[in-house]
Structure 1
């Protein structure tokens, strides 16, 4: 459920009752606290979710909302299910009186907290704060306060076919050089060796920089991807393109495992969410590995994303909204387990819930969780669309041999820093 790809290939428009609101297609359903209508409630919360692609997710959300209203009859919940470009629709609506009371966001946006759009939620965590994993806490912390509650962690890794690598005499690559060599060796006249995304990049620029000891944005708010380590790693990615070992322009993008399960490629960057489908198609003929260390002195990298529930600080129902978020994502461990394990596969941010998640306790799923714990990296809170675009545009030109790599990165850093400064001002 990576935020970056939800509005593209992996999230699909869902069938159901739809209505048009301010030009945006949404599906809205309300809980019924009285059994006949929502008029018995003193308050109705508008809660936004992006349109998850996994079957059963919309029904699950409505079921959770109904259970909340049953426990809190004075608060009804209108679930607004938003397909398409969720982030753009959310950002536009937050500027209006129609802004939702509770909404989820993908990679956490620090600027929402800094401009007072989302409420601090320290008071609803209480003693349960210690039960959330470090990533779930650190990713929503701004100047010492917590501005969201993580609902799920998404983990992204490299999948590989055990039989294909074994037949070629290849061990799972543990360095970038080995990954390049493996992708080239596994490329044939009919198939490519590796799928990173239809653009040939996917998350590879981000994880490549970090695998060489580089950073994206420093703790001091400085764009850091213009470093020598970043330049070396991004220039290295060009080798995969020069070798023509990457699958490009497939029918689905990297968030969907079809290229891997349909034997189009023996290695693919994808998420834990796809593992049930992969297991169904391939049995145990697959394994997972982190993005390998670029070279000695670097470190393997696993990208950790996910979704976070936030409260609109400018709304008129902040207390009720906090109560809903606390009830659902902090108090209801059974619902958290259902949400992360019944629709695709994800990691519960609550350590106690993760420890009892049977589907994560064995095989490649367990391996993925172990890799995330050891090598997991989340994007910084200042990694906005503008910053990401500047970085990825430069990376695409570098791997495509379009210009001087150092100058391309330097220009991208300037653009990114301008946006970061706006966020932090």
Structure 2
């Protein structure tokens, strides 16, 4: 699940903490995300506070508690407190990291290298050991800052375009392989009662960054220079206005793009969403769906799928860095069976370790396999400098360009200046 999704998708989960000591799960006294001090149970010399965002897939919370229980059986001197954080997880973790209440281990979606540059997360090269070569290139590159590894990727999330086969066939439409075809299909599938395409309630979703990538552009260079102000980026962003002018986009649905309800309930025949949603889509539609990358903007461009996911990190300023590293290494490097369980038992995700991904039976065939292949061929991830300040600046400009609010070149140039200022702050320039 993407970071944006975690801020929106909270279906009734309680906010709270559970302590696992010597393999026993003990509830804390308060229903709160505030850390609770003290090791639980006899024999535990250290208590690790481990934060997770509130995953939307049923069973995920129970799974991470099982993993913590298994860890404490193997390491009875270390208790693990699992803190399940609903709501604006990114905001809460960033704020808490500035205090003494920061967790020892935490996950983050879409890795931000500023955490490493500020000294907030520990380098984990020693945690990888010989297993480093078993992690896919995307997973390693995404957490590398100045040659060091600052996180261990837990899951790769693949985001792509879903379509209803029968709806397109009935309308005589071939699954779109170019942006022109996507615009035409969305328009043709739009009726008085329904829209042809759902990208997100804001009418943008991931389409801004997809547009840039699909026309051969980039977001930020490895050297930290903003690149989304290029002519090809501007051209593709201006193209998004066609979808708005045609009024073919679904806006303001009851849930956002991360939830497949708009597709499964027949509200739209095409929707941008993630691999995690595929089990629910298959339950609702059977085999009446397919997946596609975001199409190339024009000849010379390239199809795109976004690869996000979640990464486990260690608080460099915590009191229990050694124990925290041991937990991360045990769970996300050594326990291939648990990594496989986490990836394919509660929604679908791609294990970042190639050997684990190869053994994931549910991802080895059918449409799930197609999605994995799309990620291998066309996957793009955010640059490490793409934090909330930079992405919000870009998205604000992209929305205005797509909706025809102002001169596109001016809007994008202003966004480039603001984003560059933010990146310069990250890099201490």
Deviation at 1:338, TM superposition (A): 0.6
Residues of 2 paired with 1:299 and 1:246: CA distance?
23
Q: Tell me, what secondary structure is at the counterpart of 1:390?
A: helix
Q: Which residue of 2 aligns with 1:19?
A: none
Q: Displacement, 1:221?
A: 0.2
Contact 1:162 1:286 in 2 (8 A): yes
Tell me the residue number matched to 2:22.
33
SS at match of 1:246: coil
Unaligned ranges ≥5, structure 1: 16-25
Is 1:198 matched with 2:201?
yes
Give distance in 2, aligned partners of 1:133 and 1:114: 24
Alignment of 1:215-254 (within 5 A): 215-254=218-257
1:34 offset after TM fit, Å?
Answer: 7.4
1:212–1:295 contact (8 Å) kept in structure 2: yes
In structure 2, the residue matched to 1:53 is 56
Find the counterpart in structure 2 of residue 160 from structure 1: 163
| Offset from partner CA, 1:105-163 (integer Å, 9 cap, x none) | 00001000111110000011111011111111000000110000000010000001111
1:129 counterpart (123, 128, 132): 132
2:290 equivalent in structure 1: 287
Aligned positions of 1:57-68 closer than 5 A = 57-68=60-71
State how far apart, in whole Å, the 2-side matches of 1:212 and 1:323 are: 43
**Alignment-derived partner of residue 12 in structure 1:** 11
Asked whether the 8 Å contact 1:30–1:38 carries over to 2, the reply is no
Aligned equivalents of 1:93, 1:391: Cα separation in 2: 26
Partner Cα separation in structure 2 for residue 104 and residue 242 of structure 1: 39
Contact 2:250 2:268 in 1 (8 A): yes
Q: Tell me the distance in 2 between the aligned counterparts of 1:34 and 1:153.
A: 29
Query: Any conservation in 1 of the 2:23–2:69 contact (CA below 8 Å)?
Result: no
Where does 1:15-414 land on structure 2 (aligned, <5 Å)?
15=14, 26-33=15-22, 37-414=40-417
Kept in 2, the 8 Å contact 1:261–1:282? The answer is: yes
Unaligned runs of 5+ in 2: 27-39
Q: 2:91, 2:330 → 1: CA distance?
A: 28
CA distance in 2, matches of 1:327, 1:172: 43
Per-residue deviation, 1:86: 0.8
Structure 1 residue 90, shift from structure 2 partner: 0.8
What is the RMSD computed on CA atoms of the aligned residues? Answer: 1.0
In 2: Cα distance, 1:362 partner to 1:136 partner? 23
**TM-score, length of structure 1 as denominator length:** 0.96
Instruction: For 1:140 and 1:376, locate their aligned partners in 2 and report how far apart those are by CA, in whole Å.
Output: 16
After superposition, give the CA deviation of every residue in 1:332-385 in whole Å (9 maximum; x if it has no partner).
Answer: 000001101111111111111110111101111000000000000001111111
Distance across 2 between alignment mates of 1:31 and 1:378: 34
1:13 Cα deviation from its structure 2 partner: 3.9
Separation in 2 of the partners of 1:354 and 1:392? 33
Aligned-partner Cα distance in 2 for 1:143–1:34: 38
